């Protein structure tokens, strides 16, 4: 599918690259602060910088695609790469920061909002479902790897709450973005 000369550019094409690079900057500062306070081990700092490099590569791919892509399929494919990288980061950070006790659960919102900028309700709700599944997997793995750090009922309550929250945010943001894209 070729781009039309007078067609309205998708919202995600013009804004998402800036938001992605702002996120990398915030993530790098976050890593530096935690490293400076000796909160993280050297291995943890190393892994965070590896993730920063992976995210930079994925977001750079998307940025280049927004400038040079000949078809919307290439642009959308590069967006999928960005969203998968964001979901992997969120899942890994959730596991790494003690599963259901993690503050990184908020990172799952970023890929949902990124997909919502496409204006597609289906893809946005699908991303919310995927975020819920990855969150559930990360928390459950941590719970069973370190069994005595919580109660099973606490795990199930957290899983239900956050999975429901991601789906609710996904549906709400999808409806708003879809309505905006139809204007």
pLDDT digits (tens, 9 = 90+) for 113-129: 989 888 889 999 999 99
State the SS3 of 71-119: EHHHHHHHHHHHHHHHHHHHHHHHHHCCHHHCCHHHHHHHHHHHHHCCC
Report whether pLDDT(10) > 80. Answer: no
Q: How far is CA 132 from CA 24, 116, 125, 157, in A?
A: 23, 16, 10, 13
Q: Which residues contact 147 (CB under 8 A, 6 or more apart)?
A: none
Beta bridge partners of 71: 2
Rounded CA-CA distance 156/140 in Å is: 9
pTM: 0.85
Per-residue pLDDT of 84-104, as tens digits, reads 999 999 999 999 988 988 989
Does 33 or 14 have the greater pLDDT score?
33
Beta bridge partners of 2: 71
Give the CB-side neighbour count of residue 89, counting CA atoms within 13 A: 25
Q: Which residues contact 134 (CB under 8 A, 6 or more apart)?
A: 87, 88, 90, 91, 108
| Segment 147-152 mean pLDDT | 86
| Segment 144-165 mean pLDDT | 92
Roughly how many angstroms between the first and final C-alpha of the chain, as a whole number?
22
| Segment 154-178 mean pLDDT | 93
pLDDT at 52: 94
Q: Which two tokens stand for residue 169?
A: 């945010």
pLDDT at 11: 54
Give percent of the chain with pLDDT exceeding 90.
Answer: 58
Q: How far is CA 183 from CA 10, 66, 180, in A?
A: 12, 22, 6
Enclosing H/E stretch for 66: helix 42-68
């Amino acid at each position: 599918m070729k781009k039309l000369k007078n067609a309205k550019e998708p919202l995600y094409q013009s804004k998402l690259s800036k938001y992605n690079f702002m996120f990398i900057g915030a993530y790098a500062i976050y890593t530096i602060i935690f490293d400076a306070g000796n909160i993280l081990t050297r291995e943890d700092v190393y892994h965070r910088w590896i993730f920063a490099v992976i995210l930079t590569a994925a977001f750079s791919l998307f940025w280049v695609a927004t400038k040079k892509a000949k078809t919307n399929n290439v642009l959308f494919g590069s967006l999928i790469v960005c969203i998968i990288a964001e979901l992997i980061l969120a899942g890994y950070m959730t596991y790494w920061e003690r599963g259901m006790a993690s503050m990184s659960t908020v990172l799952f919102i970023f890929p949902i909002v990124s997909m919502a900028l496409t204006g597609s309700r289906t893809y946005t709700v699908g991303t919310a479902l995927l975020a819920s599944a990855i969150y559930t997997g990360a928390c459950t793995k941590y719970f069973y790897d370190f069994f005595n750090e919580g109660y099973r009922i606490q795990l199930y309550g957290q899983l239900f709450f956050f999975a429901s929250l991601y789906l609710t945010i996904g549906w709400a943001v999808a409806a708003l973005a879809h309505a905006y894209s139809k204007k």
